[in-house]
């Protein structure tokens, strides 16, 4: 894998690094480092740790400190305060489930490349107006799936998408074959039961399969 320049990391690099960005929910700080190592061993290093549990920031900190091969990002960034806390914990990119200019500005001020979440044409236009052209399409399956992305490729021909929400190994290829899709996101690489039982080999296997998806 190519070395990453964290200071000049761009949203496009975040999208292009691997076919899948894992969307991670961590309930135990002790799981963070072995899980990150398991994903890296499978060829996935852009890791979206969601701000959905009280332990999320401590988990980011642990990964940033102890797994230098991983690139830690924060998911579920919904406010400027979330973005700041994530940057302080060592996150070097951010993903949001929706978009507000306040989140966009905070990430820009912090130097955090952001993948803003969108599900409609108006949201795409708002994000683009603020300078964002690499967007998360969420919730992808529920909002219209690959058919919607095909429709968007006309008017939004200069936007790159990372569809997330309802994606798994078997439906990811349908999305990855589209020219306006650079990668997909999903939680299937880090199942809660594998995490709870410390089955890191299973996570490496899931990451290996994901990293070999064609795009």
Phi, psi of 46, rounded to the nearest 5 degrees: -80, 110
- Give the residue with the Cβ less far from ligand 3PG, 1 or 120: 120
Of the residues 9, 186, 189, 206, which one makes contact with ligand 3PG according to CB under 6 A = 186
73 belongs to the binding site for ligand 3PG (CB under 6 A): no
- Of 2, 7, 48, 150, the catalytic one is 48
Tokens 């429709």, residue located: 151
Minimum separation from the CB atom of position 66 to ligand 3PG (A): 25
- Give the residue with the Cβ less far from ligand 3PG, 160 or 164: 164
Of the residues 99, 137, 138, 200, which one makes contact with ligand 3PG according to CB under 6 A = 138
Both tokens assigned to 54? 């009280």
Find all residues with CB under 8 Å of 48, minimum gap 6, and list them.
Answer: 21, 22, 23, 24, 73, 74, 75, 95, 185
Binding part of the chain for ligand 3PG, among 55-63, 103-111, 162-170, 199-207 by CB under 6 A, reads 162-170
161 belongs to the binding site for ligand 3PG (CB under 6 A): no
Catalytic residue check, 66:
no
Catalytic residue check, 182:
no
206 belongs to the binding site for ligand 3PG (CB under 6 A): no
Both tokens assigned to 173? 């290829």
Find all residues with CB under 8 Å of 54, minimum gap 6, and list them.
Answer: none
Phi, psi of 131, rounded to the nearest 5 degrees: 95, 10
């Amino acid at each position: 894998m190519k070395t990453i320049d964290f200071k000049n990391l761009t949203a496009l690099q975040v999208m292009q690094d691997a076919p899948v960005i894992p969307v991670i929910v961590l309930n135990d700080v002790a799981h963070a480092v072995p899980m990150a190592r398991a994903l890296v061993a499978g060829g996935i290093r852009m890791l979206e740790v969601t701000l959905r549990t009280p332990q999320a920031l401590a988990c980011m900190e642990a990964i940033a400190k102890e797994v230098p091969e991983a690139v830690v990002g924060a998911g579920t960034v919904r406010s400027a305060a979330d973005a700041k806390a994530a940057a302080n914990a060592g996150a070097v990119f951010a993903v949001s489930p929706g978009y507000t200019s306040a989140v966009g500005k905070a990430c820009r001020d912090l130097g955090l490349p952001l993948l803003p979440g969108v599900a409609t044409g108006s949201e795409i236009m708002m994000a683009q107006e603020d300078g964002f052209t690499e967007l998360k399409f969420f919730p992808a399956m529920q909002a219209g799936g690959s058919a919607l992305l095909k429709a968007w490729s006309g008017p939004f021909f200069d936007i790159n998408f990372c569809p997330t929400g309802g994606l798994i190994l078997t439906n990811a290829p349908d999305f990855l074959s589209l020219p306006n899709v650079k990668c997909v996101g999903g939680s299937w690489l880090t199942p809660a039961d594998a995490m709870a039982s410390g089955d890191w080999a299973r996570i490496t296997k899931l990451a290996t399969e994901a990293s070999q998806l064609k795009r």
